[in-house]
Structure 1
């Protein structure tokens, strides 16, 4: 039976209060439902009718990859934590006690990896601009205040702390004038990335208020929008009441001489199967925008080479550009989803080897770490030592981009901080060697 909730532009969202009823579709036992609810007190849960009805194969739950992509799992957090929270829920403990326990767990999950809270830029004439981040010289990230939610939350999302309702863990801005002023003070910035959350949760009038002022910033070459809407709510561009206005807005960005790039998140080939996805992609491309695709490599969801090569080939035939395979970040339930770097490289290599050159625009596996985007280029043996070969695709210090370096091979390593230098005392980005913070 379809659950009922108020609609937003035809969109029907489900949250933690619907978990029990939704889990009933998959025949999840009552005790396991309790454990899932316990995890959902720590990590955010949100999905929608399109994902639930069109993408999840409920006959294959709990192993279905899309189910695992959006529904918390009872073993996603340490056993002791889940057991304690489940006990509180079973006892009918006060909400304050449950939230206190959940918050204590959250603090251990590295809610803001890569020093994100330290990247908020100085405001022109004031102290800071939470929601405006300047990590790389040519790129500024903007977190629009009205875009700090999603059509559905991915269980692996590294921005989970934005969605749990804790003000101290959130950052966002509605100060588009402040952003424009900052850009004019920093002419080296040529690209702005709208991210969140998902900016495409915003209706066209709100999105227009953010985009149009940027069209007058002459130095800007590109505007990027990070979004999973094509996977989780493609109707946004096909049948929603403001779909036509949104597409006209995209066209106006292109007509103003800016490259409009959709940074589309597709985590599994099934997300591209519904015909409405192809319709949405075609309509976006018709505005002159480009669509580049990216996703992290996630254990139990997409950790097979064939899934990635299938995704890249399908994206190519639809007119999209394969862009990034990411490594699961060092935050949230990383221990549950992470794939060892050695295995990640093998998956990327095997998928990359099985596609045509037109798909080989993709890069990875890449770690979005503090010094920049670190790519694992391979595993080899040099002077009798087995090593990872790496390079920085992007870096806070541009001098480091493209320069290969080496780390000792570690079969258990899942993140940059697990690695140790090979043939050197320190990595080239070691803060002991240079201050990597951008100047104010």
Structure 2
């Protein structure tokens, strides 16, 4: 299986090169931004993280269409992503070359208004175990544990809408990270109800094979585990990871080892736009991963100005199905960061999902959505109905903290402007099923 990459993809491999905030003026000038616009973008980048790489810049972005190109908007900060007054204040600090500490304090104040840890990530999801809490471990649902490896707390490139943005802004108090695989193993042994572990971040695939092996190998003899999941954007932002990188072959051998141990190895691959699927390198990377026995499931949020069009989703799901990938989730943009800039109203999200879903075959209808990863669980918008003379949203829990709520329908009053669960009011009841 290894050492069999197609010659044309082997020969086009390039060494990874990252671009960060210090390169913004150079790159935004290429997009045609004026000096004032460039300054505003740099102001936004003091609050929210920016990182991309040469592959994204040269292979994915259509610079002739920038700054309106969807991939450009996917990775580059926009001047109107944050409140105008905040951007103006930060831009003024940068313009007059204020001390670094003053700029950082102003940026921190803006971050604290952006709900950096939605869905109770720091308050509700981190369990107490032994003498305290295990760094980097979350246990939101009975059968699933999330783990944030310390070495996986970055990505090959950052998405402007990422709900994990707080991991990347250099504030230790906002970061979730663990570096004790033995603690993770001990926790799982003490919780036999856990059948699945999800490695997330950041991006676990930023790690090299020896580091990832440290986290995976201790889990392979745990009979309770049915699946190991890896949340990653690497197939879209750096497919070379699995084809031409120096440890590509050894990484694939590690995947084979996981599968041979009897675990379902699932790649939770993040694709936001059909263009990310076009390069030959992506097809080759997917083929090599699938040849190990791993399954690649695809997911992304619905994002205004980037993929808020049913044809975009139809195209993605059709292409992914042809490639042997499994469409999995359409998410609703979470209530954090620049949500106001990117969010699509739930009523529109449902119509986009329904329209795209109705034009694909049954093989692509494995996808679920639009789904909100809210505090009580993953809430799916099933439709808009007229019941008993009232217009309502029909909803159900795909996953819930209270397992008894899973797959039970409930209703909310229709609100054309609602973008999140907290915007909704119960219909035909005084409270929602998850409210005490």
Common fold, TM-score beyond 0.5?
Answer: yes
Give the Cα–Cα distance (whole angstroms) in 2 for the partners of residues 409 and 317 of structure 1: 37
- Give the equivalent residue in structure 2 for 1:40: 45
- Give the equivalent residue in structure 2 for 1:326: 331
- Give the equivalent residue in structure 2 for 1:374: 379
Equivalent residue pairs, number: 423
- Give the equivalent residue in structure 2 for 1:202: 207
Query: 1:123 Cα deviation (Å)?
Result: 5.3
Query: 1:166 Cα deviation (Å)?
Result: 0.3
Give the Cα–Cα distance (whole angstroms) in 1 for the partners of residues 425 and 53 of structure 2: 43
Give runs of aligned pairs for residues 293-312 of structure 1, distance below 5 A.
293-312=298-317
Give the Cα–Cα distance (whole angstroms) in 2 for the partners of residues 121 and 71 of structure 1: 32
- Give the equivalent residue in structure 2 for 1:246: 251
Counterpart secondary structure, 2:119:
helix
- Give the equivalent residue in structure 1 for 2:410: 405
Listed one character per residue, the Cα deviations across residues 222-262 of structure 1 (whole Å, up to 9, x for unaligned) are 00000000000000001000000000000000000000000
- Give the equivalent residue in structure 1 for 2:272: 267
- Give the equivalent residue in structure 2 for 1:103: 108
Listed one character per residue, the Cα deviations across residues 328-359 of structure 1 (whole Å, up to 9, x for unaligned) are 00000000000000000000000000000110
The answer to whether the Cα contact below 8 Å between 2:125 and 2:140 also exists between their aligned partners in 1 is: no
Coordinate RMSD, CA, aligned: 0.8
The answer to whether the Cα contact below 8 Å between 1:123 and 1:178 also exists between their aligned partners in 2 is: no
Q: Which residues of structure 1 form unaligned runs of 5+?
A: 1-8, 433-440
2:400 is aligned with 1:359: no
Query: 1:11 Cα deviation (Å)?
Result: 1.3
Q: Which residues of structure 2 form unaligned runs of 5+?
A: 1-13
Give the Cα–Cα distance (whole angstroms) in 1 for the partners of residues 53 and 17 of structure 2: 6
Listed one character per residue, the Cα deviations across residues 172-202 of structure 1 (whole Å, up to 9, x for unaligned) are 1011100000000000000000000000000
2:286 is aligned with 1:276: no
Residue 164 (structure 1) aligned to one of 166, 169, 182: 169
2:71 is aligned with 1:66: yes
The answer to whether the Cα contact below 8 Å between 2:127 and 2:138 also exists between their aligned partners in 1 is: no
Give the Cα–Cα distance (whole angstroms) in 1 for the partners of residues 416 and 52 of structure 2: 35
Residue 130 (structure 1) aligned to one of 132, 135, 149: 135
The answer to whether the Cα contact below 8 Å between 2:127 and 2:139 also exists between their aligned partners in 1 is: no
Give runs of aligned pairs for residues 90-239 of structure 1, distance below 5 A.
90-122=95-127, 124-239=129-244
What TM-score results when the alignment is normalised by the length of structure 1? 0.95
Of stretches 121-130 and 156-165 in structure 1, the one that deviates more from structure 2 is: 121-130
What TM-score results when the alignment is normalised by the length of structure 2? 0.96
Counterpart secondary structure, 1:402:
coil
Query: 1:411 Cα deviation (Å)?
Result: 0.5
Give the Cα–Cα distance (whole angstroms) in 1 for the partners of residues 32 and 335 of structure 2: 32
Give the Cα–Cα distance (whole angstroms) in 2 for the partners of residues 427 and 299 of structure 1: 28
2:295 is aligned with 1:290: yes
Query: 1:125 Cα deviation (Å)?
Result: 2.2
Give the Cα–Cα distance (whole angstroms) in 1 for the partners of residues 125 and 410 of structure 2: 29
- Give the equivalent residue in structure 1 for 2:354: 349
Runs of 4+ in 1 over 4 A off after TM superposition: none
The answer to whether the Cα contact below 8 Å between 1:15 and 1:47 also exists between their aligned partners in 2 is: yes
Counterpart secondary structure, 1:57:
coil
Query: 1:10 Cα deviation (Å)?
Result: 2.5
Give the Cα–Cα distance (whole angstroms) in 2 for the partners of residues 291 and 77 of structure 1: 34
